[in-house]
């Protein structure tokens, strides 16, 4: 379900967090679905339970999942999350475009590039 990239410089718990965020936002995991238990995911990734716990804590803090002690963790309703994530995404786009302006990259040039790349595929 999840693959770790040990060459990645980012900490493991962050990789796990980000992977699940993608799974939830893309609809693979739906509202109410139960997450794998901390221990089971830890063993299946050959990782310490603490590391998974930390990843789940971050996901809960960001409202992607909610946790019932002794029962497990479950996917939250994502509707409100979606708009928030979009806002965050456009913020990062702004940052990148600002950097791009130093390199004299125009909005039109950007549009041509992304249209041609055809990421919808």
Partner DNA sequence: GTGGTCTAGACCACC
Partner DNA sequence: GTGGTCTAGACCACG
Minimum gap (Å) between residue 33 Cβ and DNA: 13
Q: Where are the beta strands (DSSP E) in 1-121?
A: 65-68, 72-75
Select 14 or 95, whichever has its Cβ closest to DNA.
14
CA distance 19 to 49: 17
- Binding characters for DNA, 2-41, by CB under 7 A (x = yes): ---------xxxx--------------------x-xxxx-
- Binding characters for a second copy, 67-106, by CB under 8 A (x = yes): xxx-x----------x--xx--xx-xxx-xxxxxxxx-xx
Minimum gap (Å) between residue 17 Cβ and DNA: 10
Q: Answer yes or no whether residue 113 interacts with a second copy by CB under 8 A.
A: yes
Q: Answer yes or no whether residue 56 interacts with DNA by CB under 7 A.
A: yes
Which residues neighbour 61 within 8 Å (Cβ) at sequence distance 6 or greater? none
CA distance 53 to 68: 13
CA distance 119 to 95: 21
């Amino acid at each position: 379900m999840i693959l770790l990239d040990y060459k990645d410089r980012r900490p493991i718990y962050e990789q796990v967090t980000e992977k699940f965020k993608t799974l939830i936002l893309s609809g693979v995991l739906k509202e109410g679905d139960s997450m794998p238990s901390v221990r089971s995911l830890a063993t299946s990734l050959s990782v310490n339970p603490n590391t998974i716990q930390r990843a789940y804590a971050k996901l809960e803090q960001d409202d992607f999942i909610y946790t019932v002690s002794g029962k497990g963790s479950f996917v939250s309703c994502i509707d409100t999350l979606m708009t928030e994530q979009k806002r965050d995404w456009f913020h990062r786009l702004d940052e990148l475009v600002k950097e791009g302006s130093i390199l004299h990259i125009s909005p039109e040039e950007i549009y041509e590039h992304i249209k041609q790349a055809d990421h919808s595929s």
